[in-house]
Every structure is written in C-alpha cells, then in structure tokens.
C-alpha cells in the first residue's frame, strides 16, 4: 500500500539560535532574546504561540514567545527556572547558542478583539505569553478600545517587566493594576488576589474581550469573576498548560479530554475548555 504524503522539513530537529541579550527580570526569571545562527531564518510567530527551546544535551521545554511579533528575525523567551532544562537555559550569556523548534500552537484572538476593549488578566509568569498582545495593542492603539491589564504576582520581587508596566499604564485609555499575594510594609500597592482588582475597573461587558493566563486555579477564579461581571463565555480566552514534549501532537503528553494543548491550544476560547476546566480535576 502506498500512501500520499507531503514531505516536510524534519519537525523534530531544533534550529540553532544565538542569544543576543539576557535580561534578569526577577531572582528566578530571565528574558532571552535570540536571533538566527547559521544564516537560516527564524520562523514568524503569532502572539500566544510557543517554541520548544532546546538546551544542548539536557532537553527541551515549551516556552511561550514573549517578544513583539512585529520585530522580525528574533524570538524572545521569558523563562522561569523551575527544572533542569529551564535552570540551564537561564544560566546563559549573550553569544551562547540554544536550539528552537517552531512557533507552535494557537494565537490570542487579536482579530476578534479589534474595536473592543481588551482586558488582560495575568498571574505570575503568565504575563509573558500576554506580552505580545500588549505590544500589538500598543502599536495599533487606535484599533482597540480601552486597554486593561490586571496582574497578580506572589510578591513585589516576583513582578515581571516592571519598567514596561509603567509604560503600558501611560498608554492612552489604559489602566494597569498590579496586586501581590504577600508584601512587606514598603509595598504601597494592592495586596490580595488578582480578582480583587476587578473592583477598580469599570468594565463594559458588551464590548470587552478578556484574555487570561496564569495558574489554572487562578484562571478558574478569574473566569468566575468575569462571568459575574456579565461577560459571555464567548468573550473569554485563556492559555492552558500541560506537559509538552513534541509540540506537534505526537507525544501525547499534553492531552486534556479530546484536546492536544500543543496544537489545539495553548490558547483556547473558554467555550472549548469549559468542560475540562470546571469540575473535573486530574484531566
């Protein structure tokens, strides 16, 4: 039996990239800017997509792309050191090389968000996958209504992109609110969970698109809070996380119900995952 198949470049081989810049965001999180090594081009990406980032001889991890999608020729990754591979990745200096595969997965709904108020709710490292959305909204500010960013972190020391948070709050018709779970008395900002920040914004539910990324438990609370504020399920998008090893639907690890998070996600309309997020744990 012969079968028709389209030959594709080997999707399992990483492409070498050169680190051009390393920024220490927090005590455990670094942002690495990479450019093509080898003269080969880098794949373009859409806000919300991820790459499999390869540390030579150690392994590969899925990392959301946190850069500006309209700056060609670079891929930016904000990486928190939580395991062997990520610990090795954040230890690099400019000039070192890494491998990347892809930009993989689905993107945030920027088209659907045109003309709408854009509400982003981020928790912890979950701000990184949303940063390309912010860059996009900032570049095309007049294409969108109000811009609202609610961001929760563990402590003030864990806040990512501190300088940019200030810059974003200065965008026209924008509000950036930050809260932490725990702070010492030098912190003058909010202390409490991220949903408490909803008290300080005036949502226009009929013209808002909400995008959230953070720990699953946080997103469940955020979605409840959004629904309580009269947002329809169809106006809510989120980014999900599971173990991913291949990035293209072959390894099987990232399944949640019928979904492969790597190719059907990581960005989902809430309606796609409602059933799997509410009620059933250990899926």
Partner 1 sequence: MDVPALELLIEALRERGYRVVGPVLRDGAIAYGPVNKVGDLPAGWTSEQNPASYRLKRRPDNALFGYATGPKSMKDFLHVSEIRTFAAEKTDGLFWILPASEPPPRYAFLGVRGCDIAAMLVQDRVLIGGQAADPFYEARRRNCLIIAVHCTEPASTCFCVSMGTGPRARNFDLALTEFADSDLHEFLVEIGSEAGAEILERIPVTIASTEMTSRSRALTDRAGQAMTRHLDKDRAVSLLRENFDSPQWDRVAERCLACGNCTMVCPTCFCVTFEDSTDISGQRAERWRKWDSCYSLAFSYIHGGSVRSSTKSRYRQWLTHKLSSWVDQFGSSGCVGCGRCITWCPVGIDLTEEVAAIEKANSAARKEDS
Partner 2 sequence: MRVNRIEELARAAEAYPLLADLRPEHLAKLVEIAEERSFEQDEIIFGEGATSECLFLIASGKIALETIAGGKRIVIQTLSAGDAMGWSALTHSAKTHFQARALSHVQTIAFEGAKLAVACEYDPVLGYEIMKRLLALVTERLDHTRMQVVDMYGKRAAARS
The residues of the shown chain that bind partner 1, judged by CB under 8 A, are 1-3, 5-6, 8, 10-14, 16, 18, 37-38, 56-60, 82-83, 86, 95-97, 99, 241-243, 245-246, 248-253, 255, 257-258, 260, 263, 280, 282-283
Q: Is residue 131 part of the contact set for partner 2 (CB under 8 A)?
A: no
Binding mask 187-226 for partner 2 (x = CB under 8 A): xxxxxxx-xx--xx-------------xxxxx-xx-----
3-state secondary structure string across 218-247: HHHHHHHHHHHCCCCHHHEEEECCCCCCCC
Spatial contact of 223 and 214, defined as CB atoms under 8 Å apart? no
In angstroms, give the least distance from the CB of 274 to partner 1. Answer: 14
Spatial contact of 110 and 120, defined as CB atoms under 8 Å apart? no
Residues paired with residue 212 on neighbouring β-strands, in sequence order: 121, 238
For partner 2, which residue of 96, 143, 181, 245 counts as binding (CB under 8 A)? 181
In angstroms, give the least distance from the CB of 73 to partner 1. Answer: 18
- Judged by CB, which is closer to partner 2: 168, or 221? 221
The C-alpha atoms of residue 277 and residue 257 are separated, in whole angstroms, by 10
The C-alpha atoms of residue 150 and residue 152 are separated, in whole angstroms, by 7
Residue 44's contacts (CB-CB under 8 Å, 6 or more residues apart) are 69, 72, 103
Binding mask 141-180 for partner 2 (x = CB under 8 A): -----------xxx---x--------------------x-
The C-alpha atoms of residue 169 and residue 142 are separated, in whole angstroms, by 16
Tell me the number of residues near partner 2 by CB under 8 A: 32
Cis peptide before 51 (omega within 30 of 0): no
In angstroms, give the least distance from the CB of 11 to partner 1. Answer: 5
- Judged by CB, which is closer to partner 2: 224, or 230? 224
- Judged by CB, which is closer to partner 2: 118, or 219? 219
Spatial contact of 204 and 118, defined as CB atoms under 8 Å apart? no
Instruction: Summarize as ranges the residues that interact with partner 2 (CB under 8 A).
Output: 82, 123-125, 152-154, 158, 179, 181-185, 187-193, 195-196, 199-200, 214-218, 220-221
């Amino acid at each position: 039996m012969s079968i028709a198949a389209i030959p594709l470049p080997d999707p399992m081989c990483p492409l070498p990239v050169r680190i051009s810049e390393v920024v220490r965001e927090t005590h455990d999180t670094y942002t690495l800017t990479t450019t093509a090594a080898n003269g080969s081009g880098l794949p373009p990406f859409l806000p919300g997509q991820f790459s499999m980032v390869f540390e030579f001889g150690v392994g590969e991890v899925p990392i959301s792309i946190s850069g500006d999608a309209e700056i060609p020729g670079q891929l930016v990754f904000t990486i928190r050191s939580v395991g062997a591979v990520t610990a090795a990745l954040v230890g690099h200096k400019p000039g070192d090389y890494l491998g990347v595969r892809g930009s993989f997965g689905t993107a945030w709904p920027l088209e659907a968000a045109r003309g709408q108020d854009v509400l982003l709710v981020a928790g912890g490292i979950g701000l990184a996958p949303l940063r390309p959305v912010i860059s996009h909204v900032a570049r095309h500010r007049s294409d969108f209504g109000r811009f609202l960013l609610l961001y929760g972190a563990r402590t003030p020391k864990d806040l990512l992109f501190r300088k940019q948070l200030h810059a974003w709050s200065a965008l026209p018709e924008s509000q950036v609110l930050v809260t932490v779970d725990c702070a010492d008395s030098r912190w003058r900002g909010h202390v409490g969970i991220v949903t408490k920040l909803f008290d300080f914004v005036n949502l226009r539910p009929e013209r808002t698109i909400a995008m959230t990324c953070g720990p699953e438990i946080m997103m469940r609370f955020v979605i409840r809070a959004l629904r309580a504020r009269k947002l329809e399920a169809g106006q809510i998008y989120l980014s999900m996380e599971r173990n991913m090893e291949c990035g293209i639907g072959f390894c099987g690890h990232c399944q949640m119900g019928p979904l492969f998070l790597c190719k059907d996600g990581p960005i989902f309309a809430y309606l796609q995952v409602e059933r799997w997020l509410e009620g059933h744990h250990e899926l």
